[in-house]
Amino acid sequence: MNAVPYVIIHHSFTPGECHTQKQCANAMKSIQNYHREVNKWNDIGYNFGVGGDGRAYQGRGWGHVGAHAPNYNSQSIGICLIGDWRYFVPPESQLEVTKKLIKYGVDQGFIQSNYTLYGHRQVRSNTECPGDALYKEIQTWEHYSSIVTP
Ligand SMILES: [Zn+2]
């Protein structure tokens, strides 16, 4: 997989936010179980999860096509901020780690340096993901674009 042009931000909605490594690892596990057993995918759909414990968790990881945003999977890295972010923004540490993870991906050549950042709802109708509060937050981030070019 070459450097991808898009980064797509998600929230987990359920499970809700996590604060310790144990809670966050369990949350990742429960998302993985859901994606495998209910969605019948071969692994967790997201490339990465980020927890309220300030850690990034590997899902499919770099260089693998995820299952998180139809039409964009092969061209994007999908990052899920664990929690329900409709009404509250994630803690600062969770936001910072997400930004660091993206920067790392750019530095390592997994993400194009001129990438475009989207919230999931922009590339899929019928979802409120990544939640109103988080969606508002990412609109202030570098590389966010309100223009969607499929
Ligand atoms: Zn989503």
Q: Where are the domains of the chain?
A: 4-138
How many angstroms is it from 113 CA to the middle of ligand 1? 23
Cα-Cα-Cα-Cα torsion 141, 88, 13, 150, nearest 10 degrees, comes to -30
User: How many angstroms does the Cα of residue 109 sit away from the middle of ligand 1?
Assistant: 24
Give me the pLDDT at residue 1, please. 65
pTM of the complete model: 0.96
Residues 28-59 pLDDT 10s: 999 999 999 999 999 999 999 999 999 999 99
How far, in Å, from the CA of 13 to the mean position of ligand 1?
A: 9
Question: Ligand 1 centre from 8 Cα, in Å?
Answer: 8
Average pLDDT over residues 19-36: 97
* C-alpha 47 – ligand 1 centre gap (Å): 12
Rg (C-alpha) for the chain, rounded Å, is 14
Per the CB < 8 A criterion, the answer to whether 116 and 69 are in contact is: no
Fold of 4-138: Lysozyme-like (3.40.80)
CB 82 within 8 A of CB 28: yes
Q: Where are the beta strands (DSSP E) in 22-97?
A: 48-50, 56-58, 76-81
